[in-house]
Amino acid sequence: MKVTIIGPGAIGTLLAAFLARKNNEVWLLDKYTERALKIGKGGIRVEGLTKINAKVKTTSEAKEIGHQDAVILCVKSYDTEEAIKKTGALVKEDTLVLTLQNGIGNTQILNDIIGEDQVLAGITSQAATIIRPGVVRHTGKGETVIGRTTKKPLGRARVLLELLNKAGMPTRTTKDINSLIWSKLIINSGINAISAITRLKNGALLDYPAARELMRQAVSEAARVAKRKRIRLNYDDPIQKVESVCKASGENLSSMLQDVLRKKKTEIDFINGAIVRQGKSLNIATTVNETLTNLIKTIENSYQQQQ
């Protein structure tokens, strides 16, 4: 199976390494030519929970790759539209496109550009931290779940399911991927922004009463929005769940904290910002999520002034 992973971030690099070690034909598509050449020359190394050294083909030009059986999108959510529009050489009528991104809104962008028949949505509990281009630390193991946001049957998606499982990434399908996407979104809404603002690891958020209260309020707002939308979450108590995730990933730096530390744009608009937009459309107050969104945007806008 010919597979291209778009985005050499932590999850994209980890996924490329897992697939490449099983001798799949894997390409890693990067928007930066210099970084693509560097990864292509040095290969990929995975440290931590899994040890992998693998060679993958890399490029910044989709036309060098050609028609693919599957494309897996691992770019930041704010790059989704630009990334998929530049992949015309990869995506034909029989190409599956899977998003394994944070937040909500990515699937709709892909459906509008490609068509919902080819688009799959997914979430993963695999966790990794980028050390430098081509080198990641595998920090958390867990299942990956894929499905369609529409009621259409999975069809050829089962081929991708088999590919991921054979590569050593436990994967299953679901008929209700929206439930899982929202379940993850609510957890991220309680952890990412607060950790990025406070510079605290996930577990440390529970050590400070004020941070813990902010987390509970953000999650409660998000859960109210999900309830109004009649989205079934995969846990009964959202607050208890987010706190348990903090404990289980205690030493992890959230992806948003990693972005802020590197003075990079964050995915706030697709996480807490998305909760705010959905809340406004339903006339539900999301004051804490709006405040967190504004604070993160202020941090982003002040990068040049920070020492």
C-alpha closest to that of 150 among 102, 118, 104, 187: 118
Q: How far apart are CA 166 and CA 174, in angstroms?
A: 19
Between strands 2-6 and 25-29, the pairing is parallel
CB 194 within 8 A of CB 292: yes
Q: What are the residues facing 47 on neighbouring strands? A: 137
Q: Which has the closest alpha carbon to 133: 260, 257, 31? A: 31
- Give yes or no: 184 in active site: yes
How far is 265 from 8, CA to CA, in rounded Å? 16
Catalytic residue, candidates 184, 241, 263, 280: 184
CA-to-CA separations, 3 to 56, 71, 105, 146, in angstroms, rounded: 11, 6, 23, 16
* Catalytic annotation, residues: 184
